Amino acid sequence: MTGKSKVVALEQVVIRFAGDSGDGMQLTGNLFSDSTAFAGNDFATFPDYPAEIRPPQGTVAGVSGFQVHFGHKPVHTTGDLCDVLVAMNPASIKANMRWLRPGTIIIFDVDSLSEKALEKAGYTADPTSDGTLADYQVVKAPISELTKEALKDFGMDQKSMLKSKNMFALGIVMYLFNRNLDTVYKYFETKFKGKDQVIKANRTVLDAGYHYADTWELFTNTYKVEAADLEKGKYRNITGNTAAAWGLMAASEKSGRPLFLGSYPITPATDILVELTKHKELGVKAFQAEDEIAGIMSSIGASYTGCLAVTTTSGPGLSLKSEAMGLAVMTELPLVIIDVQRGGPSTGLPTKTEQSDLLQALFGRNGDAPLVVMAARSSAGCFYSAYEASRIALEHMTPVILLSDGALGNGSEVFRIPRMADLPSITPRLAKANDPDYRPYRRDEKTLAREWAIPGTEGLRHRVGGLEKENIKGNLTTDPMNHQIMTELREEKINRVADDIPLQEIDGDKNADLLVVSWGGTYGVVRTAVDKLKEEGKSIAHAHFDYIMPLPKNTADVLAGHKKIVVCEMNRGQFAKYLRMNFPEFKYEQFNKVQGLPFGLAELENKFNDLLK
């Protein structure tokens, strides 16, 4: 460094990388996130993909974004407004104007300016010179030309050279935040092992961006965010989908049951399948089925044979799996169904996040077919949610739906890797060989869970199938009174899971003027908004639900005693409807968002303040 830039300490920063779908913004954001993890900061990320597979190049619809919120103190949200925007073309500026705060640093590839590019973005004039960006610090950097200049001696064609321009932009940002480049170098060496020329080219462009920012003195100040005070342990940057996959593998090891995944690829759940295929050495069997129905049916078959069986999907796939879920309820086999929710209905908004599958998860099966429904609260928390869903499925002999969402699944956080010895025990209900009293539907008196007779266990056999079973004996029957008994037993079995889950916690005064209720991926931003208002002396409390079917036993007590209750969710009020069904004695306000985007901190604060007036 030249020493001319003053280093300013910051508590937290929000950076957004934006460009065309082919500009590599997701990779750039992930690499900066990795460097953030090594710097010891707490952070959360939000990848924002175009909803179309191949949107028109240079248009607002085709802008791909990746946001990183990192800080010295605990970070629970992916951030609202940007402190830094990296914009690789005019459309990237147009698409992200609403996320800019006054004074935002905009690092812009000035080489992307052309009449055609401005027209595609919906501009009639250059926004960097007509006053549109007067409230921001615009850094016009010739990123494309300098990338080509850096690679002029590599014998590459122009198109190939420009594929590395995202690394030039990353170099500028790494300089701006005083980051060490070693973590990025290591990525190049791992990703392109054996391709020395590719490694050298990427390093050259990254270095060129870093040194350009330094020698041209682009910034009056550079910035430093000190390491967060994290609990001692081993940490990594992890996405929600990867965390879920790891949680399943941990549950498999802890329970002693081999892991089987039967799934059909679907956005945004596919990466769970992808991650599990990497771990055959741990005994994982991952089957990519020809469709959603085959995926879950293969998992039910694997469950019958004694596996910890899982199927993964998103909203449209959950619809297709509904009949098979009824079969799993009928046969009372353990099965984990992970639904990474996206915008609907139908194919809807495949790359956008939503929470609109809750009622489908609760009731979307023919007949009375109750099962356990849970929701993950954070990207890193997907590990523990997947582990807990597996435990409940195996110990209570029931299907469990775990609801995640696109923001959690694709987003990433700092994850402290736990020790296996510290995770709760998982004890499957395995039938004993040659038990003279064994009956397929003989139940545990406390939980009503039946025993799991693994095929091949000496002296045990029983039938399965989608027709009603005779109580205790398991024979096929259409007796009306038996159907009544079995239906009631299956429902009561799920109700009794409430005895095996934690009581609902409440953060704040038990008699607050306003109780904020949330579930699933809204946890971080709702908690942050509530904490901020509590610091201002407002009478506000927060109850976040991880367990939905059944609800915790003290739910009524948590809801009682508050002047107002508001339920915040990314749908049209599905959890609010569910609470009204179960606890009609309370009145519920709603705050709903269905824009394919997470809640913003400011919009929650405004809503809560309005309700507190």
Beta partners for residue 100, in sequence order? 82
| 437-455: pLDDT as tens digits | 999 999 999 999 999 999 9
Q: Are residues 523 and 417 in the same domain?
A: no
Helix (H, G, I), strand (E, B), or coil: what is residue 191? helix
Q: Provide the terminal-to-terminal Cα distance of the chain, rounded to the nearest Å.
A: 52
Total domains present in the chain: 3
**Cis, peptide link before residue 268, omega less than 30° from 0:** yes
Which CATH number does the domain housing residue 549 bear? 3.40.50.920
| Residue whose structure tokens are 């179960």 | 582
Residue 421: CB atoms within 10 A of its CB come to: 6
Mean pLDDT over residues 468-492, rounded? 96
Q: Are residues 126 and 251 in the same domain?
A: no
Give yes or no for residue 538 having a pLDDT over 70.
Answer: yes
pLDDT for 506: 97
Sorting pLDDT into bands at 50, 70 and 90, what band is 11?
Answer: very high
The Cα 286–Cα 201 span in angstroms is 36
Residue type, 359: L
DSSP notation for 371-425: -EEEE--STTTHHHHHHHHHHHHHHHT-EEEEEEEHHHHH-EEEEEPPPGGGSPP
How far from 312 is each of 261, 414, 522, CA to CA, in Å? Answer: 8, 24, 21
Q: Which residues 6+ apart lie within 8 Å of 436 measured at CB?
A: none
Look up residue 92 and give its two tokens: 């990237």
The Cα 13–Cα 71 span in angstroms is 6
Q: Which domain holds residue 559?
A: 514-612
Q: Are residues 273 and 199 in the same domain?
A: no
Task: Quote the mean pLDDT of the chain.
Answer: 95
Please report whether residue 108 resides in a domain.
Answer: yes
* Among 128-142, 378-392, 459-473, the least confident range: 459-473
Please report whether residue 211 resides in a domain.
Answer: yes
Helix (H, G, I), strand (E, B), or coil: what is residue 532? helix
Q: Which residues 6+ apart lie within 8 Å of 217 measured at CB?
A: 2, 4, 5
Percentage of residues in the chain with pLDDT exceeding 90?
A: 94
Please report whether residue 486 resides in a domain.
Answer: no
The Cα 479–Cα 481 span in angstroms is 6
Residue type, 483: H
Please report whether residue 399 resides in a domain.
Answer: yes
| 398-426: pLDDT as tens digits | 999 999 999 999 999 999 999 999 999 99
pLDDT for 1: 41
Which of 370, 399, 393, 335 lies closest to 486 in space, CA to CA?
A: 370
259: burial class by Cβ within 10 Å (0-12, 13-18, 19+)? buried
Spatial contact of 205 and 151, defined as CB atoms under 8 Å apart: yes
Look up residue 430 and give its two tokens: 């395995």
Which of 560, 557, 556, 558 lies closest to 583 in space, CA to CA?
A: 556
Which CATH number does the domain housing residue 361 bear? 3.40.50.970
Measured over the CA atoms of residue 588, residue 593, residue 598 and residue 601, the dihedral's sign is negative
Helix (H, G, I), strand (E, B), or coil: what is residue 502? coil
Residue type, 522: T
The Cα 161–Cα 484 span in angstroms is 70
How far from 262 is each of 229, 257, 327, CA to CA, in Å? Answer: 40, 16, 16
Q: Are residues 403 and 541 in the same domain?
A: no
Which of 4, 29, 26 lies closest to 15 in space, CA to CA?
A: 29
Look up residue 411 and give its two tokens: 């987003």
Look up residue 315 and give its two tokens: 């909203």
Please report whether residue 180 resides in a domain.
Answer: yes
Q: What are phi and psi of 282, to 5 degrees?
A: -95, 10
| 306-353: pLDDT as tens digits | 999 999 999 999 999 999 999 999 999 999 999 999 999 999 999 999
Last residue of a domain, one of 422, 455, 490: 422
Q: Are residues 366 and 410 in the same domain?
A: yes
| 21-77: pLDDT as tens digits | 889 999 999 999 999 999 999 999 999 988 777 788 899 999 999 999 999 999 999
Q: Are residues 201 and 317 in the same domain?
A: no
Please report whether residue 1 resides in a domain.
Answer: no
Give yes or no for residue 2 having a pLDDT over 70.
Answer: no
Which of 331, 271, 264, 276 lies closest to 304 in space, CA to CA?
A: 331
Give yes or no for residue 566 having a pLDDT over 90.
Answer: yes
The Cα 552–Cα 121 span in angstroms is 50
Q: Are residues 131 and 249 in the same domain?
A: no
The percent helix, strand, coil of the chain (3-state, each to 5) is: 40, 20, 40
Spatial contact of 263 and 287, defined as CB atoms under 8 Å apart: yes
**Cis, peptide link before residue 502, omega less than 30° from 0:** no
Residue 40: CB atoms within 10 A of its CB come to: 15
Which CATH number does the domain housing residue 109 bear? 3.40.920.10
The Cα 34–Cα 228 span in angstroms is 15
Q: Are residues 19 and 144 in the same domain?
A: yes
Q: Are residues 276 and 378 in the same domain?
A: yes
pLDDT for 4: 58
- The pTM assigned to this predicted structure is 0.94
Please report whether residue 450 resides in a domain.
Answer: no
Spatial contact of 14 and 79, defined as CB atoms under 8 Å apart: yes
The Cα 57–Cα 350 span in angstroms is 19
Please report whether residue 350 resides in a domain.
Answer: yes
Q: Are residues 186 and 248 in the same domain?
A: no
Q: Are residues 320 and 394 in the same domain?
A: yes
The Cα 71–Cα 515 span in angstroms is 28
Q: Are residues 139 and 191 in the same domain?
A: yes
